[in-house]
């Protein structure tokens, strides 16, 4: 006997669920295209603007079509972290020497850490509104569940330290210090400082009139200097100070 077709409560044959099309403004979707569009949206409007609905509208598809590439909002946020690390890898790969061109220099591990730090700094300054995810998603997502691009970047640094002859304990200590310094430095560089961008007077632009001078004299005095970015030179100086500390052990 032929299998009976499923029927709804009215007794009529149920229609098969319609599958949302994944062909939009830019042709058929891919994970890379979805994440790139999500990163563009965050760059332009911030993390609060990111939703499946907004992203689908941007790509010209229904929101349901996106669930093939990200299971939900959290997965989409993890995808943005992945996209940042993919861009980091592309920058590092573009600036690395061809394989087999020369024997690796074990003593050059510090220079390579500086190169990685600067590349991460450049990625973060290119996507400042996505930078908070580098901290918040790492707090929420266990190591083994992080995107492969993130884990490969961890592996890159740890392999570098291993090849330099650092043992497991020192490698872990340098890895923590390196990661903490780079992310901390970028966070300070990108902190909000301007109170009123339409003000020409530096004091009012920074909102110094809102700080009680009797209670915050040192902060008021240095705010204008703090508002200036330290740039990659400041990143390098702090990293050298950290690495010098470990070199003494």
Q: Measuring CA to CA, which residue among 248, 210, 206, 211 is closest to residue 227?
A: 206
| Lowest mean pLDDT, pick from 23-32, 108-117, 122-131, 172-181 | 23-32
Encoded tokens for 58: 């941007």
* One domain for residues 127 and 51: no
* One domain for residues 128 and 31: no
pLDDT higher than threshold 50 for residue 17: no
Mean pLDDT of 157-174: 95
Within a domain: 25: yes
d(CA 74, CA 91): 26
- Band of residue 6 on the pLDDT scale cut at 50, 70, 90: very low
Q: pLDDT digits over 183-193, tens only? A: 999 999 999 99
Q: pLDDT digits over 95-120, tens only? A: 765 555 454 565 689 999 999 999 99
* One domain for residues 78 and 168: yes
* One domain for residues 60 and 123: no
What are the angstrom distances between the C-alpha of 190 and each of 46, 64, 87, 187, 199? 14, 34, 19, 5, 20
* Number of structural domains found in the chain: 2
* One domain for residues 91 and 171: yes
Q: pLDDT digits over 27-55, tens only? A: 578 999 999 999 999 999 999 999 999 99
- Give the pLDDT score at 77: 96
- Band of residue 26 on the pLDDT scale cut at 50, 70, 90: low
Within a domain: 29: yes
Mean pLDDT of 172-180: 96
Angle at 73 between CA 70 and CA 77, to 5 degrees: 80
* One domain for residues 44 and 150: no
* One domain for residues 66 and 28: yes
Mean pLDDT of 149-153: 97
- Give the pLDDT score at 10: 45
Percent of the chain with pLDDT over 70: 84
Domain residues for the domain of 31 are 20-70
- Give the pLDDT score at 99: 57
CATH of the domain at 174: 1.10.357.10
* One domain for residues 78 and 165: yes
């Amino acid at each position: 006997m032929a299998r009976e077709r499923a029927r709804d409560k009215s007794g009529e044959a149920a229609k098969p669920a319609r599958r949302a099309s994944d062909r939009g403004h830019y042709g058929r979707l891919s994970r890379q295209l979805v994440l790139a569009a999500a990163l563009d949206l965050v760059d332009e409007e911030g993390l609060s603007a990111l939703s499946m609905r907004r992203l689908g509208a941007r790509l010209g598809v229904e929101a349901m079509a996106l669930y093939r590439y990200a299971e939900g909002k959290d997965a989409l946020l993890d995808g943005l972290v992945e996209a940042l690390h993919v861009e980091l890898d592309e920058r590092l790969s573009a600036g690395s020497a061809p394989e087999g061109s020369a024997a690796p220099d074990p003593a050059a591990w510090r220079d390579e850490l500086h190169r990685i730090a600067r590349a991460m700094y450049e990625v973060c300054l290119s996507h400042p509104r996505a930078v908070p995810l580098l901290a918040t998603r790492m707090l929420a997502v266990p190591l083994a569940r992080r995107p492969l691009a993130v884990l490969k970047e961890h592996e890159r640094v740890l392999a570098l330290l291993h090849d330099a002859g650092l043992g497991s304990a020192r490698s872990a200590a340098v890895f923590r210090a390196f990661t903490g310094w780079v992310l901390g430095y970028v966070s300070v560089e990108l902190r909000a400082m301007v109170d009123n961008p339409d003000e020409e007077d530096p004091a009012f632009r920074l909102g110094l009139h809102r700080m009680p001078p009797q209670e915050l004299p040192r902060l008021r005095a240095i705010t204008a200097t703090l508002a200036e970015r330290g740039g990659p030179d400041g990143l390098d100086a702090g990293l050298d100070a950290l690495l010098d500390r470990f070199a003494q052990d």
